[in-house]
């Protein structure tokens, strides 16, 4: 970590990862308690994600910011809008070569700028998921790229996964919903 650019890139990625969860000590405790995974599995998955993010940042910090890395029970999901095919392939190789990774799924789209529409859709999907009384939506992550919604995370059941997809599809402006939701039952 003698390279100040590498340190800055790693800190930026860490801040973005933590910032997306609105991290507070209380929020972290609440999030951990609501997670369908054990605390040990959460720690292992976070270690895997951070390892992959760090390696991507070492290669190219700008391109690394375009690849979102999620890990649930050793299954890594790489999601992003990035045109650089070599970096996409590098991200996949990196994930597959990371210790304790069982499977890698990638969902890459053609690079687009984040639009106000995507931000609005993301906010509305999040709001509608949380408002759905029959759904435990606190552990559902989402990415929105050009009107396409990707749902990721652990949910209680297949019914919860189906309900989350239904809610997301009901949001104005959503063109497509891809679910990588994993039922715990």
**Residues sharing a CB contact under 8 Å with residue 37, sequence separation 6 or more, in sequence order:** 45, 72, 73, 154
144-174 as b/e: b if 16+ CB within 10 A: bbbebbbbbbbbeeeebbebbbebbeebeeb
* Residue range 94-152, pLDDT digits in tens: 999 999 999 999 999 998 776 788 999 999 999 999 898 878 766 799 999 999 999 99
Question: What residue ranges define each of the domains in the chain, with the CATH number in brackets?
Answer: 4-109 (3.30.1340.30), 116-183 (3.30.1340.30)
SS3 category, 184: coil
pLDDT computed for residue 23 by the predictor? 44
Give pLDDT tens digits for 157-171. Answer: 999 999 999 999 999
Task: State the pTM of this model.
Answer: 0.80
């Amino acid at each position: 970590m003698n390279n100040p650019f590498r340190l800055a890139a790693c800190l930026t990625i860490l801040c973005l990862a933590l910032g997306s969860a609105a991290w507070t000590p209380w929020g972290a405790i609440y999030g951990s308690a609501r997670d369908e995974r054990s605390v040990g599995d959460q720690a292992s998955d976070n270690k895997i994600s951070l390892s992959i993010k760090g390696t991507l940042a070492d290669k190219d910090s700008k391109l690394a910011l375009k690849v979102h890395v999620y890990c649930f029970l050793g299954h890594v999901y790489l999601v992003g809008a990035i045109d650089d095919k070599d970096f996409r392939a590098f991200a996949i190789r990196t994930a597959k070569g990371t210790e304790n990774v069982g499977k890698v799924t990638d969902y890459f789209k053609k690079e687009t700028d984040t639009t106000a529409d995507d931000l609005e859709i993301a906010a509305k999907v999040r709001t509608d998921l949380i408002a759905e009384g029959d759904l435990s939506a606190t552990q559902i992550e989402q990415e929105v790229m050009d009107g396409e919604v990707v749902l990721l995370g652990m949910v209680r059941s297949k019914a919860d996964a189906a309900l989350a997809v239904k809610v997301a599809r009901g949001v104005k402006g959503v063109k497509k919903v891809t679910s990588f939701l994993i039922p715990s039952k």
